[in-house]
């Protein structure tokens, strides 16, 4: 590969790299950038020359980044972010963010409970800005932020790494979600005996044991888990028509119950409450678009 310097490189190629990385398809990248697919293909050929690497390989599901593309991605994302931030200096009080997007990492329970209000709040505070929800959780959120997969995160911990900032938005607890057809007339709670006697649906990204099992074990009790899932979205279909109970964060239980006709009940176990945190990178200058989304999150989640 011949030596390259910045004077010989069209910096618009970096936008093409970003679009290819995020869309995983030359045709979708072309639509996003308002270019023809042949123009995107030509830009990819030039990118390969610049970096001396294939960068993206064709798979059955589109274009997959190579190891070098994954290494380049945070550097290119940072360069483009700084360019976009520099343009806001021309009009720091502008009322719209047309064409901009902010990626918010969160688990699907927060998305279910707060997603619609967050979209409305962002539309009010930053017209034209696109909010992108991406799945994350406390075990991977620090990496997701530092590698620029997301701009902000709402999680239960995990944002205490160096170069990350965090703010506690509040705290949460747990509730039980059941099909009301499995309750007696006028029943508004489960006692501990009935709670243990019912089969359970476990929502866990980690394994077979959850916080409920730990609390029951402390009292010499055990529950029977009929099935487990890694996400919350299917719970209405898994619970409907059964006597199973699922113990999940109260914000998700209440939102799912309101939307589906399931019933959210107090948990008969004393379970520890947890902090809800907002996390962000501290290594880059403030981005007005990210700042507006932070305002929206605070308005929606803080008491």
Q: Is 135 helix (H, G, I), strand (E, B) or coil?
A: strand
Q: How many domains does the chain have?
A: 3
* 164 and 284 fall within a common domain: yes
According to the model, what pLDDT value does residue 64 have?
92
Last residue of a domain, one of 87, 112, 147: 87
Q: Is 64 helix (H, G, I), strand (E, B) or coil?
A: strand
Q: What is the CATH number of the domain that holds 48?
A: 1.10.10.10
Q: Rounded to whole angstroms, how far apart are CA atoms 255 and 261?
A: 10
According to the model, what pLDDT value does residue 1 have?
45
Q: How far is CA 276 from CA 57, 187, 281, in A?
A: 39, 31, 17
Q: Rounded to whole angstroms, how far apart are CA atoms 221 and 266?
A: 19
* 139 and 158 fall within a common domain: yes
92 lies in a domain? no
pLDDT digit string (tens) for the chain, length 303 residues = 445 667 778 888 999 998 899 889 999 899 888 889 999 999 999 999 999 999 999 988 888 999 999 989 888 887 887 777 676 666 655 555 777 789 999 999 999 999 999 999 999 988 888 899 999 998 899 999 988 889 999 999 888 888 899 999 999 999 999 999 999 998 999 999 999 999 999 998 776 788 999 999 999 999 999 999 988 999 999 999 999 999 999 999 999 999 999 999 999 999 999 999 999 998 766 678 888 999 999 999 876
Q: What is the CATH number of the domain that holds 238?
A: 3.40.190.10
């Amino acid at each position: 590969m011949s030596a390259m310097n910045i004077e010989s490189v069209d910096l618009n190629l970096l936008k093409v790299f970003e679009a290819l990385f995020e869309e995983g398809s030359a045709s979708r990248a072309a639509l996003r950038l308002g270019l023809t697919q042949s123009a995107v293909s030509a830009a990819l050929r030039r990118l390969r020359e610049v970096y001396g690497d294939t960068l993206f390989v064709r798979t059955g599901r589109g274009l997959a980044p190579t190891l070098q593309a994954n290494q380049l991605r945070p550097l290119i994302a940072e360069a483009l972010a700084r360019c976009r931030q520099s343009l806001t200096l021309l009009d720091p009080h502008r009322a719209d963010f047309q064409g901009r997007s902010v990626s918010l990492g969160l688990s699907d329970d927060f998305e279910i409970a707060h997603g619609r209000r967050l979209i409305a709040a962002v539309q009010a505070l930053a017209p034209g800005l696109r909010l992108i929800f991406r799945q994350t959780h406390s075990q991977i959120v620090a990496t997701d932020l530092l590698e620029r997969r997301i701009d902000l995160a709402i999680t239960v911990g995990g944002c205490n790494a160096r170069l990350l900032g965090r703010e506690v938005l509040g705290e949460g607890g747990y509730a039980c979600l059941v099909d009301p057809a499995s309750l007696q007339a006028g029943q508004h709670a489960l006692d501990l005996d009935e709670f243990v006697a019912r089969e359970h649906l476990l929502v866990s990204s980690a394994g077979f044991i959850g916080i409920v099992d730990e609390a029951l074990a402390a009292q010499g009790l055990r529950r029977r888990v009929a099935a487990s899932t890694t996400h919350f979205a299917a719970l209405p279909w898994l619970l409907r028509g059964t006597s199973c109970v699922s113990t999940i964060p109260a914000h998700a239980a209440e939102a799912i119950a309101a939307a589906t006709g399931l019933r959210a009940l107090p948990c008969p176990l004393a379970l520890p409450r947890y902090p809800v945190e907002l996390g962000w990178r501290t290594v880059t200058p403030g981005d007005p678009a990210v700042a507006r989304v932070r305002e929206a999150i605070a308005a929606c989640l803080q008491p």
